[in-house]
C-alpha cells in the first residue's frame, strides 16, 4: 500500500523555500496551486512563513500528524532528517535530492545508508534523485513535484524512471487536454520500486491504463514475477536500445541475444505492449483510456474525404489491422441511405457533403456489422456541414456500443465546439489519420497479446541426477577452456534430457575410428576436437560424406597428425542427409534465467539473423510460436515440393532444451547447430553442439 | 509559367455566392480576408453584390483585365464558361467543380472536352475537381481555395493530389506557426500537371522545400523526366501502398516488383526523399525550411536532461545517424567550462541547472568540432534557469554557423518567450526528442541522396541487329505460349548482349543428347522443355550431376517419354559447381521502361524476398548499389572462409541485362535464375533463363 505517497493526510516539505527560483518553493507552490486538501507544512529554519503557511524549524515540531515528507535538502543531511521523520511518525518520504548512487561509489554508500535507515525506522522511501508523485483524484489533488504539466483528472497513470521522459509524456498528454490519473518518477528507487507502484495502480479504480518508461531493469526477475500479475494494460518504452554493451559471448545464440531482446522477452511475458516512440505511446494511451479492448483486428473506416482515409488504411494494414468490406446487407443499407457517389466499401467514403444523418447511418451500420471489431472515423470538418451535429451523432453512437470507436478529426480550433463534443463523449481523437490507425492497431495488438494461449510447460522425462553429476564433474576442466564442455560431455548432457542426436562415437586412434565407422555404417562424418580448436570447419577438422574404410583411414590419420600435441579426439557420426538445417540454442540472461532460441541454420542465421527467442522455461505454445514466428518459416512448410519438416519434433527439442537450461543454471550458452529436421513424422536430430558453463 | 494562377493581377469568382455556407461564398471570403491586393470580381446572376464587391452577370462584362477565374458552377456549364473566359482574355481557370473523370465515363468525356477547349482557346486549366491555390508572398496574398488553414508566410510549398491530405499537411504546419509559401491541390489535373507546378516552384525564390503528396503517377515517364531536373528538396508521400493490384506476372522479378517498388524507383531517380507518415513529412519539411543541408550524418547532442537525449539517440541511430564523441580537445574544453557532474561524451549532458553560459559553451564547442555535421539541442525548460537567455545563446550561435542546428524543446506555452526567440532565429523546434532526431536524419538522408555518384551508363557491345531480328521472329510463336520464349531463343538473346551462359546444347533425340554430353564433358545437366511445362524442377524435367554416358542415356529416354506429344526438347548444360547462386531479372513498368533486379538465389529470394531494384537503363553505380544493397550481401563477400564472389562480373551482367531490356521494350519480364557467381576474377554464368515478351 502506497497511500502515504499518493493519498497522504498531511505533507511536510522539508527544505521548503520562499525564493521563487528554488525547487523548495516550486513544490510548495505546485501543491498549493493544485488544490491539495490536507495541511501543508513547510519545514525550514530560514523563514517564518512561505506562501501563507507558517513554517517549522524541524518536522518534529509540527503539531498534527504528517504522512508524507517531501525532502529537498543537501544529500548528506538526508539521513538525520529521516530519523526526525520517523520520530514524528511520518510514513513515507520523497527524497528529491540528488547526489546518491547516480554520482558513483560515495553516493552509493549514502544511498545504501538511506535504504538501511528506511528499513530500520519503518519509513518508506521514494527516490532519492527523483521528481515525486501526483494524484488528480478529486478527493486528493496532490502535485508533489517541481514540474510544470497542467494536469486534469483522467484515467492514464504515468510511471517513468527518467524524470525528463516522465515530464515529456505527462506534459504532452496534458497539453492535448487529456486527463492523467497518477504520476510517479522514482529516480534511483532505493526502496519503493516500479513493480510496487504498478501493483498499487492496478488496484486503483481510477487508473485504466499505465504508461511506463524504463531505462534499466534493476532486478528483471522481480519485475517479471510482480508485473506479470498485473491486470491493467501497461504500455511501455525502454530506452537505451542503441547502446551496444560489450559482452563476453561466443555462441550464435549469445551473440544474437541483444539487451533489447531481453526487454522484449520480459515485456512479452508480462503482457506489456512495447513502443519505440514516445508520441506513439502517448497516442495509444489515449485510446486505452477511452476505448474498450476490441475482440479482433478488423476495423471499418468511415470518411468524408478519400485521401486521408487512404493514409489510415496504409498505416493500419502496415500495423496489422484488417479492413474487410462491410457485409452485403450493410452495403445495401449504405447504398440506400447515402449519396449516390459514395463508396460503400471499406473505407466507406460518404463525400464531403455528408451531414449528421449520413455520418450516423454509416457509423451505426459498421458498428452493428459483425464483420468489424472497431470503427475508425476520418473526419475533415467542412464549413458547409453541421459538424457539431456530426459530433453529436458520434457521441450518441459511442454511448450505445461496446466496440471501440476512434476518431481522426482534421481541423483547427475554429471547430472547438465539435472537438469538445467528441471529447466529452470520451472518444479518442487524433489529428493525423496514421495516428488513429496506429492507436487502433495498439488496441488490437494488446487484445492479441492478452488473449493468446499461454500453454503449459510439459513435464520432461530426464535423467536429472546424471546430468547434474556430469556438470559438476565437467565444470572444473571446462573452466580451463573458457567454460567450454567437451563434445562428448555435451552429447551426454543432451542425451540425459532426451534430445535426439546423430549417432556418434568418440575415439582416439585411427583403428578405433575405422571400427566405429563400420559400426555406424558408411557414409559417415569425421570430426576432430582439440585444445584451442573453435571453428572446426575452417580448421580442416570436419570431413563429411566419407564413403568407405580407406577414405576414413586417410582422413583420421590426417586429422590426428594435424592436431598432434593438442590432445586430439575423433568423432565418428552418422551422415544425416535430406532434411532442413536449423539452429536451436539457449543463453543465460543475468538475473532472469535463460532464453531459448530458434532459427533456420547456415547462412540464414549468419547473414539474415532470422531467429526468435522465448524465455525459459517455455510452454508448448511458446515453442510453437518461436518456430512459426521466424520469417523463414515457409522453408519448414515444404518449399518447391519438398516435404513439410517435422515441426513437432523441433518443438520437442526446444522444450527439452528449455528444461535442460532452466534446471541447470550454470549453463551459460548453448548452440545446437545444426539440427537436421526431417520430413513430418520422421523427427529431427542434433548434428553438432557447443556448450559453455 | 504559372503566374496566372499564383500571381494573377485580378480574379473573377464565377459562381460566387452571398450564402455563407456555400463554396462560392467561402472562396470570396478567403480571398478578401487573406488580403489579396488586386481586384476581385464576383460573377453571378443572382445577387448584385457580395461582401462589398459589385457582381457581374458574366465574366465578359467585367471592365478591367482578369488573369484568373475560379469556377464554382455546375459541371455541364463549365465548357461554355471557358469560352466566355477566353473571350474576356482570362489566362487561367481553376475548376473547383466536381463531376468529371472521377465519376466515370461520362465525366471523363466532359473532362476531355475541357482539355480540348483549353488547348483550343489558349486557356490554362487547373483541376477540375480540385481545391485551388494559395500564395503567401506579401506582394500577392492569394488564398483562392475554400479550406481553413491559417497561413503565415514562409518557405515550405505544398502540392498534393488529394485535397484532404493537402489540407491535413497545410493546416498542421500552419497551426505549428510555421510559414507556408505556396499551396496547390490540382485534383484531376487535366491540364496543369504536378511536374509543371514543381518546376514553377523550383524557380520561385521564396520556396526552400517542396512537400508533395501523390496518389498515382498519371505519366510516370513524364514525371521522371521533368522532376529529376528540379534542384530544390522535394519531400514526398505516395499513398495507396497497401492496395494489392492484381497483375498478370509470372516471373520472380515481376512478382517481387510491387507498385510501391516503382514509386521508390521513381522517387530515388528524382532525388525525392520519401516518407511513410504525414507527420514525419511535415516535421522534416520544417527542418528543410529552416536548416542547411549537412555534409554528413554525424550529429552532436547537447542536453540538460539525460532521459530525453537517450530517446533522441535511440531514434537517431535507428534512422542511420552517427553519434561520435567530441574530439579530445572539445571534451577538455567542456570539462573545464561545465559543472563537474556533466557528461562530456555524446550526448553532452550538462544537467538541469545549466544556464545560458553552459549552453553557449557546449553548443558552440560542438559546432566548431569538425567531428560533427550538425547539432541537436535537447532542452527541457527548468523554471529555475534563465530559459530565454539560453534561447538567445542558441539564436546567436545559429546565426554564426553553417551547420544545421535543430532543437527539441520540451515545454509548454508558459515558456512562449523562449520558443519565440528560437522561432525568430529560424531554428526548427520539435516537442519530442524522436521528432528532432528523425528530422536530422532526413537532412542527412537527403544529403546522401543528392551527393551520391550517379555513375555512367556504359556502352555495351552487342549484336543489336541479331537480337531485334530474333525477337521479331520469335514473338508470334511466343504469343501462343503466353509470351514465353523458348529456352534456346532466350539463350541466343543473352548471347547477343554478351551475357555469359553455362555451355548449352539443344537437341531432340537421345543419341544427339549423348553426343552433346560428351562434347560438353561430364558431369552434365540435362533439362527438358515441353509445351505447357513451367516448373521444370517439380515436373522431373531437370537432372543434375549426370556423371556418365549410360546415366545420360537413361535420363534422356525418361524425359522424352515423359513429355512425349508435347514437342519435348532436351538441353545439355555444363554442370556449374562451386560459386554462389544469385538471381537477376528485369520487368516492364508500364509507361516507364523496365526495372532491373538483383538478389541471392534459391530460398533467399523465395522466402526472404531479399532483392533490390533499379530503374533501367542503369549506370555502373546503380549496378554496384543494387548488388551491395541487399541484406545478404555478406554472402558474396566470402562467408566462413569461402572465396569472395566476382561482384564485378555480376555488375557486368546487370548492365548488359539493362541494355537488353531498355533497347528491346517488348520484353515484359525476364529471370536469370540462377546465375552462378564464381570466385573473384572467375566470372559468373547464367544457368537458367526465362523470358516473356
pLDDT digit string, tens, across residues B236-289: 999 877 654 444 556 777 778 877 889 999 999 999 999 999 999 999 999 999
pLDDT digit string, tens, across residues B115-126: 999 999 999 999
CATH hierarchy code of domain A1-130? 3.40.50.720
**Length of chain A as a residue count:** 693
Q: Which residues of B touch A341 (CB under 8 A)?
A: 103
Of A370, A333, A377, nearest in space to A356 by CA? A377
Whether A307 sits inside 8 A of B239 (CB atoms) is yes
Helix/strand number for chain B, H first, E second: 23, 29
Ordered DSSP codes for B378-400: EEE--TTS-HHHHHHHHHHHHHH
Q: Is A275 helix (H, G, I), strand (E, B) or coil?
A: coil
Q: What are the grid coordinates assigned to A307, written together?
A: 485521401
pLDDT digit string, tens, across residues A491-509: 999 999 999 999 999 999 9
A residues 430..449 contacting B (CB < 8 A): 431-435
Q: How confident is the model at residue B290 (pLDDT cuts 50, 70, 90)?
A: very high
ipTM: 0.93
Is residue B485 scored above 80 in pLDDT? yes
d(CA A71, CA A16): 8
pLDDT at B249: 59
A residues 588..627 contacting B (CB < 8 A): 603-604, 606-608, 610
Residue bearing cell 544493397: B629
Q: Which residues of B touch A160 (CB under 8 A)?
A: 307
In degrees, rounded to 5, the angle at the alpha carbon of residue A246 between the alpha carbons of residues A243 and A247 is 125
Query: Using CA of residue B286, residue B289, residue B291, residue B292, what is the dihedral sign?
Result: positive
In sequence order, the 6+-apart residues with CB closer than 8 A to the CB of A71 are A14, A15, A78, A81, A93, A94, A95, A96, A97
pLDDT at A246: 41
Substitution target in B239, B416, B637, B641 with the highest count of A β-carbons within 10 Å is: B239
Q: What are the grid coordinates assigned to A45, written together?
A: 529554519
d(CA A133, CA A158): 10
pLDDT at B275: 97
> CB count, 10 Å around CB of A383?
17
Reported CATH class of domain A503-574? alpha beta
What's the DSSP call for residue B501? B
In degrees, rounded to 5, the angle at the alpha carbon of residue B267 between the alpha carbons of residues B264 and B270 is 145
Looking at residues A549-562, what average pLDDT do you find?
A: 93
Ordered DSSP codes for B99-161: -SGGG-HHHHHHHHHHHHHHHHHT-EEE-SS--EEEE--TTT-EEESS------EEEEEEEES
Ordered DSSP codes for A89-122: T--EEEE----SGGG-HHHHHHHHHHHHHHHHHT
Looking at residues A219-240, what average pLDDT do you find?
A: 93
pLDDT digit string, tens, across residues B201-219: 999 999 999 999 998 887 8
Reported CATH class of domain A147-290? alpha beta
End-to-end CA distance of chain B: give it in Å, rounded: 42
Distance (Å) of CA A465 to CA A55, B193, B313, B460:
68, 79, 49, 72
Domain A292-451 has CATH 3.60.21.10: no
Report residue B587: phi and psi, to 5°. -145, 145
> CB count, 10 Å around CB of B537?
12
Is residue A253 scored above 90 in pLDDT? no
Of B294, B440, B315, B317, nearest in space to B377 by CA? B440
CA B626 from chain centre, in angstroms, equals 16
Ordered DSSP codes for A342-374: -B-SSSEE--TT--HHHHHHHHHHHHH-TT-SE
Of A480, A562, A554, A542, nearest in space to A513 by CA? A554
DSSP H or E segment with residue A312: helix A306-318
Would an 8 Å CB–CB cutoff place B634 in contact with chain A? yes
Q: Is A386 helix (H, G, I), strand (E, B) or coil?
A: coil
d(CA B435, CA B443): 13
Ramachandran assignment for B127, one of left (phi > 0), alpha (psi -120 to 50 degrees), beta (any other):
left
pLDDT digit string, tens, across residues A39-70: 999 999 999 999 999 999 999 999 999 999 99
pLDDT digit string, tens, across residues B337-346: 999 889 999 9
List the domain boundaries for chain B: 1-130, 147-290, 292-451, 503-574, 580-692
Query: Using CA of residue B334, residue B340, residue B344, residue B348, what is the dihedral sign?
Result: negative
Whether A639 sits inside 8 A of B607 (CB atoms) is yes
**What Rg value do the Cα atoms of chain B yield, rounded?**
32
Q: What are the grid coordinates assigned to A265, written together?
A: 522477452
In degrees, rounded to 5, the angle at the alpha carbon of residue B81 between the alpha carbons of residues B76 and B86 is 145
DSSP H or E segment with residue B650: helix B647-663
**pTM of this prediction?**
0.94
d(CA A416, CA A451): 38
Half-sphere exposure in the Cβ direction for A224 (13 Å, CA): 17
Name the more confident of A356 and B480.
Answer: A356
Q: Give percent of chain A with pLDDT exceeding 90.
A: 86
pLDDT at B246: 41
Of A171, A239, A431, the CB nearest to B172: A431
Report residue B526: phi and psi, to 5°. -120, 130
A residues 153..192 contacting B (CB < 8 A): 160-168, 171-172, 175
Would an 8 Å CB–CB cutoff place A310 in contact with chain B? yes
Distance (Å) of CA B108 to CA B97, B102, B161, B215, B288:
14, 8, 18, 18, 39
Q: Is B266 helix (H, G, I), strand (E, B) or coil?
A: helix
> CB count, 10 Å around CB of B63?
8
Fold annotation for B580-692: D-amino Acid Aminotransferase; Chain A, domain 1 (3.30.470)
pLDDT at B243: 56
Strand order in the sheet with B504-507: B504-507, B569-574, B524-529, B542-546
pLDDT at A535: 75
Ordered DSSP codes for B67-89: SEEEE-S-GGGHHHHHHHHHHHT
Is residue B362 scored above 90 in pLDDT? yes
Q: What are the grid coordinates assigned to B406, written together?
A: 535543430
Ordered DSSP codes for A500-568: -B--EEEESSHHHHHHHHHHH-SSEEEEEE-TT---TTTTT-EEEEE-SHHHHHHHHHHHHHHTTTS--
Do B152 and B138 form a contact (C-beta atoms < 8 A)? no
Of A164, A307, A634, the CB nearest to B164: A307
pLDDT digit string, tens, across residues B291-339: 999 999 999 999 999 899 999 999 999 999 999 999 999 999 999 999 9
Q: What are the grid coordinates assigned to A125, written together?
A: 522511501
The rounded mean pLDDT for chain A is 94
d(CA A111, CA A128): 8
Query: Using CA of residue A677, residue A683, residue A688, residue A689, what is the dihedral sign?
Result: positive
Whether B277 sits inside 8 A of A22 (CB atoms) is no
Q: What are the grid coordinates assigned to A301, written together?
A: 473506416
Burial class from Cβ neighbours inside 10 Å (0-12, 13-18, 19+) for residue A631 reads: middle
Distance (Å) of CA B140 to CA B32, B185, B198, B662:
12, 18, 19, 47
d(CA B375, CA B295): 12
Whether B580-692 and B503-574 are alike in CATH topology: the answer is: no
Whether B242 sits inside 8 A of A414 (CB atoms) is no
Whether A538 sits inside 8 A of B412 (CB atoms) is no
The rounded mean pLDDT for chain B is 94
A residues 122..151 contacting B (CB < 8 A): 146, 148-150
Q: Which residues of A touch B177 (CB under 8 A)?
A: none
B residues 671..690 contacting A (CB < 8 A): none
Do A477 and A672 form a contact (C-beta atoms < 8 A)? no
Looking at residues A271-297, what average pLDDT do you find?
A: 97
d(CA B228, CA B210): 14
Do A99 and A107 form a contact (C-beta atoms < 8 A)? yes
**Length of chain B as a residue count:** 693
Question: Alpha helices, DSSP H only, in A180-243?
Answer: 194-202, 220-227
What's the DSSP call for residue A326? P
pLDDT at B244: 45
Looking at residues B395-409, what average pLDDT do you find?
A: 97
The two beta strands, A348-349 and A299-303, are: parallel
Question: Alpha helices, DSSP H only, in A229-305?
Answer: 252-256, 259-270, 278-290
Amino acid at each position: 500500500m502506497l497511500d502515504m505517497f499518493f493519498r497522504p493526510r498531511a505533507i511536510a516539505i522539508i527544505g521548503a523555500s520562499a525564493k521563487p527560483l528554488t525547487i523548495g518553493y516550486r513544490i510548495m507552490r505546485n501543491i498549493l496551486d493544485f488544490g491539495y486538501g490536507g495541511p501543508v507544512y513547510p519545514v525550514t529554519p530560514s523563514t517564518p512563513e512561505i506562501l501563507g503557511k507558517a513554517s517549522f524549524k524541524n518536522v518534529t515540531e509540527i503539531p498534527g500528524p504528517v504522512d508524507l515528507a517531501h525532502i529537498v535538502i543537501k544529500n548528506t543531511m538526508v539521513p538525520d532528517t529521516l530519523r526526525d521523520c520517523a520520530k514524528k511518525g511520518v510514513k513515507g518520504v520523497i527524497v528529491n535530492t540528488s547526489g546518491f548512487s547516480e554520482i558513483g561509489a560515495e553516493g552509493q554508500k549514502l544511498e545504501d545508508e538511506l535504504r538501511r535507515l528506511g528499513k530500520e525506522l519503518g519509513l518508506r522511501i521514494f527516490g532519492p534523485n527523483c521528481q515525486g508523485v501526483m494524484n488528480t483524484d478529486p478527493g486528493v489533488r496532490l502535485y508533489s513535484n517541481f514540474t510544470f504539466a497542467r494536469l486534469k483528472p483522467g484515467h492514464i497513470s504515468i510511471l517513468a524512471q527518467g524524470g525528463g521522459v516522465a515530464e515529456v509524456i505527462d506534459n504532452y498528454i496534458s497539453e492535448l487536454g487529456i486527463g492523467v490519473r497518477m504520476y510517479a518518477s522514482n529516480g534511483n528507487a532505493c526502496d519503493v520500486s516500479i513493480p510496487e507502484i504498478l501493483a498499487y495502480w492496478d488496484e486503483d479504480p481510477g487508473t485504466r491504463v499505465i504508461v511506463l518508461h524504463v531505462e534499466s531493469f534493476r532486478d528483471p526477475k522481480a519485475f517479471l514475477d510482480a508485473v506479470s500479475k498485473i491486470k491493467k494494460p501497461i504500455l511501455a518504452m525502454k530506452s537505451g536500445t542503441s547502446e551496444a554493451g560489450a559482452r563476453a559471448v561466443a555462441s550464435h545464440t549469445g551473440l544474437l541475444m541483444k539487451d533489447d531482446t531481453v526487454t522484449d522477452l520480459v515485456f512479452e511475458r508480462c503482457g506489456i505492449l512495447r513502443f519505440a516512440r514516445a508520441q506513439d505511446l502517448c497516442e495509444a494511451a489515449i485510446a486505452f483510456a477511452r476505448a474498450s479492448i476490441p475482440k479482433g483486428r478488423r476495423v471499418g473506416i468511415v470518411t468524408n474525404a478519400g485521401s486521408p482515409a487512404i493514409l489510415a488504411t496504409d498505416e493500419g494494414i502496415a500495423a496489422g489491422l484488417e479492413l474487410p468490406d462491410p457485409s452485403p446487407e450493410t452495403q445495401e443499407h449504405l447504398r440506400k441511405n447515402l449519396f449516390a457517389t459514395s463508396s460503400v466499401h471499406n473505407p466507406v467514403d460518404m463525400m464531403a457533403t455528408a451531414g449528421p444523418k449520413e455520418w450516423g447511418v454509416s457509423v451505426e451500420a459498421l458498428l452493428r456489422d459483425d464483420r468489424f471489431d472497431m470503427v475508425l472515423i476520418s473526419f475533415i470538418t467542412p464549413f458547409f456541414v453541421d459538424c457539431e451535429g456530426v459530433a453529436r451523432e458520434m457521441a450518441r453512437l459511442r454511448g450505445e456500443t461496446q466496440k471501440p470507436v476512434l476518431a481522426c478529426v482534421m481541423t483547427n480550433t475554429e471547430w472547438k465546439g465539435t472537438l469538445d463534443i467528441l471529447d466529452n463523449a470520451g472518444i479518442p481523437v487524433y489529428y493525423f489519420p496514421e495516428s488513429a490507425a496506429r492507436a487502433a492497431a495498439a488496441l488490437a495488438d494488446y487484445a492479441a497479446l492478452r488473449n493468446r494461449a499461454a500453454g503449459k510447460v510439459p513435464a520432461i522425462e530426464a535423467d536429472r541426477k546424471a546430468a547434474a553429476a556430469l556438470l559438476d564433474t565437467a565444470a572444473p576442466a571446462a573452466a580451463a577452456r573458457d567454460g567450454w564442455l567437451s563434445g562428448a560431455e555435451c552429447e551426454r548432457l543432451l542425451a540425459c534430457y532426451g534430445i535426439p542426436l546423430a549417432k556418434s562415437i568418440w575415439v582416439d586412434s585411427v583403428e578405433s575410428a575405422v571400427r566405429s565407422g563400420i559400426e555406424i555404417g558408411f557414409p559417415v562424418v569425421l570430426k576432430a576436437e582439440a585444445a584451442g580448436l573453435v571453428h572446426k570447419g575452417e580448421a580442416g577438422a570436419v570431413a563429411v560424406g566419407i564413403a568407405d574404410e580407406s577414405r576414413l583411414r586417410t582422413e583420421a590419420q590426417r586429422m590426428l597428425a594435424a592436431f598432434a600435441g593438442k590432445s586430439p579426439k575423433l568423432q565418428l557420426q552418422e551422415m544425416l542427409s535430406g532434411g532442413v538445417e536449423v539452429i536451436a540454442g539457449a543463453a543465460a540472461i543475468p538475473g532472469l534465467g535463460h532464453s531459448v532460441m530458434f532459427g533456420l541454420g547456415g547462412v540464414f542465421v549468419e547473414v539474415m539473423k532470422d531467429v526468435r527467442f522465448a524465455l525459459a522455461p517455455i510452454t508448448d505454445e511458446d515453442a510453437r510460436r518461436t518456430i512459426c514466428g521466424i520469417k523463414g518459416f515457409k522453408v519448414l512448410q515444404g518449399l518447391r515440393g519438398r516435404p513439410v519438416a517435422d515441426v513437432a519434433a523441433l518443438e520437442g527439442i526446444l522444450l527439452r532444451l528449455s528444461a535442460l537450461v532452466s534446471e541447470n543454471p550454470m549453463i551459460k550458452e548453448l548452440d545446437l547447430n545444426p539440427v537436421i529436421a526431417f520430413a513430418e513424422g520422421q523427427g529431427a536430430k542434433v548434428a553438432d553442439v557447443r556448450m559453455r558453463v
